[in-house]
Amino acid sequence: MRKLCYYLVFISLIFWNFLMAQNDSNPFFKEWKTPFQTPPFDEIKLEHYLPAFEEGMKVQKIAIDSILNSTDNPTFENTIEAMEISSEFLDRVDNVFFALNSSITNDQMQNIARKITPILTKHNDDINLNLKLFERVKKIYNKRSSLKLSSEQKTVLENYYIGFVRGGANLDESAKDKLRKLNEELSMLTLKFGENMLKETNAVGLTADNEDELAGLPPDVVKAATEMARSKDIQENFAFTLQKPSFIPFLQYAERRDLRERLFKAYINRCNNNNEFDNKKILSQIVSLRVKKANLLGYKTHADFVLERNMSKKPENVYKFLKEIWTPAVKRATNEAADMQAIIEREGKDFKLEPWDWSFYAEKLKKEKYSLDEEMIRPYFKMENVRQGVFDVASKLYGIQFIERKDIPVYHPDVKVFEVKEADGKHLGIFYSDYYPRDGKRSGAWSSTFRGQSNMKGKFVTPLVFNVGNFAKPTADKPSLMSLDEVNTLFHEFGHALHSLFANTNYPSAQWVPRDFVELPSQIMENWATEPQVLKMYAKHYETGKPMPQELMDKLLNASLFNQGFETVEYIAASILDMDWHTLTDTAQRDVPTFEKQSLTNIGLIPQIESRYQSTNFQHIFAGGYSAGYYSYLWAAVLDADAFNAITEKDLFDQKMAASFRKNVLSGGAAGDAMEAYKRFRGSEPKIDALLKKRGLN
């Protein structure tokens, strides 16, 4: 009876706050009448965010106070479940605002982000550092073995307990004050790092006045540069930005070596130009503060703090793993560089291959070895066809369906919405795709949710999932025609989307998985992208609709191991740079160029290749949640190579194995112990051999 009274009080408090806001015109304060209660983007205005954030924090504070003021003994229901529910309103606002701040931001949104970020940080610290609240959680945790909890509830309880400990709940008051200050400083610095990256990535990296400067570029690339110049109101006739769809084709095809060098250096020097968007001081401060925070919480380094909850567990395990693959990768990349240098010399030129030459001569080498270049396959990768291709793969594996919905509001005309259904027609979730660059969108590609799946107290909530990318944009007379790298990226991000769509837990926090496991669902999807059976499904010429000819498909498959040395080396170089920054044990602020140069020299990075990211533009680790975790993509690549072999051993679309993968990996089963979940699917731990073979490094 006391438990029932508690819930009635708790629910009435939430409902009271909700009713108090009903007369407000702010859509966040109302029930969304849209299909599946999707965000009403057509109603949400900038002025709605701050009041909604404030209300969300107020609602959660009242809920937390109700937990603290309860005279009942702490139980899973009146403490853990109550905390899970407490952030529902705030999550609704937070998910929408920060998603749009990454994909369609402007000065006003960035001002809101600067204002609300320290307030949210304080709000979260008020919860995480509340000793009385932690004591309730600890009492439940300490008697967990005697409680009748499901395996999922045990995982949720453990996540809360560990979260409090790692959040500083055990610190004394003086240390808590220091932690609060560190958290606030870090939140603002990482926000500023990302803002600077957005400005510099959207900048024009190169302009040209006449077509002679664009010798070698395909007509479509020239046309896109013309449209870019017009959209940027630039006096010159042609413009290339530092977004990948703009600068990569230039590096691949432009014959003017001096212009390739200029554009390449503009790209790698983003946020390293000693201007208002320079990130050197910011990232040096971030690294120093992370060391202070790790030390305060009892860890030697930031990497030790991060990796404790990852599959890798310790920094030395990450270094060992990376160096195992580094040696064969460098050997392969050195041979690739030698092949390109031979082309340079055959052409009668006397310069040494430099990083800004790699893409240009890689295209020549690919054409020489395989009679293949990017422009031959691009016409077969119309974006809409590629997207339908990944839908069809998911349908064949899992039986799900995708139905476009034009009655669901979107935040930009480029966004398309699809309802996802199970094979029996049951609603599974909503999928948004947003694939083209714009000035208000950060670089790269990512996946997240406007609303996660949950099933608390019998209320099943379906997920609202989105994928964002920066792929080749349609021109006035042609659709979006994607590169093979962009195709793989679309498949990759869709794998993340499936992970969110297939979530099937009662509690949202039960869906947490280690950072070095989370890339498995995404990377495994890339394997299907270039399978012949799949290419026949979606690789169709954008004008004729005819499928890719077998001869061209064979060339594409024969070239599958091409440039793998380069791709692996540039990636591992960035991963080790990340680890070197985050295994520092002192708080001295480093000179960034000196530190970076030493890091890459120590591992023997060959001069023809640059690290995939430079410190000043390494958004993954300084503004994206991957600090001491960029290695995760390669770690997951070992898992995905092994898992793909398991699923497709009998058939490319083995539905029985796919169902096992969905159950054990994608639906939340990995929250307790990721490796145990993987072994439930596979029967054993993965070995590195499958990855080395896949990349031709064995």
Same domain assignment for residues 586 and 543: no
Q: Look at residue 218 and give its three-state secondary structure.
A: coil
Helix residue ranges per DSSP H, 280-346: 280-296, 302-307, 315-346
Same domain assignment for residues 554 and 568: no
| Residue 285 resides in a domain | no
Confidence of residue 671 (pLDDT cuts 50, 70, 90): low
User: 478-505 burial by CB neighbour count: b if 16+ within 10 A, else e?
Assistant: bbbbbbbebbbbbbbbbbbbbbbbbbbb
Same domain assignment for residues 351 and 230: no
Do 279 and 271 touch, CB atoms closer than 8 A? yes
Residues 6+ apart with CB under 8 A from 177: none
State pLDDT tens for residues 83-101: 999 999 999 999 999 999 9
For residue 439, the enclosing domain spans 379-558+633-694
Residues 6+ apart with CB under 8 A from 413: none
Tell me what pLDDT residue 78 has.
Answer: 97
Residue 518: pLDDT above 50?
Answer: yes
| Residue 439 resides in a domain | yes
Confidence of residue 14 (pLDDT cuts 50, 70, 90): low
Helix (H) or strand (E) segment spanning residue 158 = helix 151-166
Rounded mean pLDDT of the chain? 94
| Residue 241 resides in a domain | yes
Q: Which residue, 223, 251, 268, sits at the end of a domain?
A: 268
Look at 118-122, 136-140, 692-696 and tell me which has the smallest mean pLDDT: 692-696
The catalytic residue among 493, 570, 596, 610 is 493
Residue 17: pLDDT above 80?
Answer: no
- Compute the average pLDDT of residues 168-184: 98
State pLDDT tens for residues 254-293: 999 999 999 999 999 999 999 999 999 999 999 999 999 9
Altogether, the residues listed in the chain come to a count of 698
Same domain assignment for residues 505 and 449: yes
Number of Cβ atoms within 10 Å of the Cβ of 423: 12
Same domain assignment for residues 103 and 81: yes
Q: Which residue, 605, 627, 649, sits at the end of a domain?
A: 627
Distance CA(278)–CA(270), nearest Å, equals 8
Residue 7: pLDDT above 50?
Answer: no
| Residue 293 resides in a domain | no
Distance CA(323)–CA(598), nearest Å, equals 17
Helix residue ranges per DSSP H, 399-546: 484-501, 515-518, 520-529, 532-538
| Residue 397 resides in a domain | yes
Same domain assignment for residues 393 and 525: yes
| Among the listed residues 488, 540, 531, the one whose alpha carbon sits nearest the alpha carbon of residue 380 | 540
Residue bearing tokens 């909700």:
18
| Residue 280 resides in a domain | no
| Among the listed residues 236, 232, 230, 262, the one whose alpha carbon sits nearest the alpha carbon of residue 247 | 262
Half-sphere exposure of 696 (CA within 13 A, CB side): 15
Strand-pairing partners, residue 207, are 239
Same domain assignment for residues 644 and 686: yes
Helix (H) or strand (E) segment spanning residue 240 = strand 238-241
- Compute the average pLDDT of residues 457-467: 94
Confidence of residue 16 (pLDDT cuts 50, 70, 90): very low
Same domain assignment for residues 439 and 530: yes
Return the structure tokens found at 209: 């006045």
Same domain assignment for residues 256 and 231: yes
Residue 193: pLDDT above 70?
Answer: yes
Same domain assignment for residues 404 and 531: yes
Confidence of residue 689 (pLDDT cuts 50, 70, 90): confident
Distance CA(443)–CA(202), nearest Å, equals 8
Q: Look at residue 138 and give its three-state secondary structure.
A: helix
Q: Which residue, 627, 656, 682, sits at the end of a domain?
A: 627
**Number of domains the chain is built from:** 4
| Residue 166 resides in a domain | yes
Is 173 one of the catalytic residues? Answer: no
Distance CA(92)–CA(110), nearest Å, equals 19
Residue 23: pLDDT above 80?
Answer: no
Tell me what pLDDT residue 537 has.
Answer: 97
Residues 6+ apart with CB under 8 A from 390: 490, 491, 494, 525, 528, 529, 538
State pLDDT tens for residues 34-62: 999 999 999 999 999 999 999 999 999 99
Tell me what pLDDT residue 453 has.
Answer: 96
Helix (H) or strand (E) segment spanning residue 448 = strand 446-451
How far CA 421 is from CA of 394, 400, 403, 431, 654, in Å, comes to: 11, 6, 8, 11, 20
| Residue 81 resides in a domain | yes
Same domain assignment for residues 161 and 70: yes
Same domain assignment for residues 514 and 623: no
Phi and psi at residue 351, to the nearest 5°: -95, 160
State pLDDT tens for residues 581-640: 999 999 999 999 999 999 999 999 999 999 999 999 999 999 999 999 999 999 999 999
Residue bearing tokens 């529902």:
88
Do 464 and 450 touch, CB atoms closer than 8 A? yes
Distance CA(27)–CA(365), nearest Å, equals 56
User: Helix (H) and strand (E) counts for the chain?
Assistant: 29, 9
Do 565 and 301 touch, CB atoms closer than 8 A? no
DSSP strand pairing (446-451 vs 464-468): antiparallel
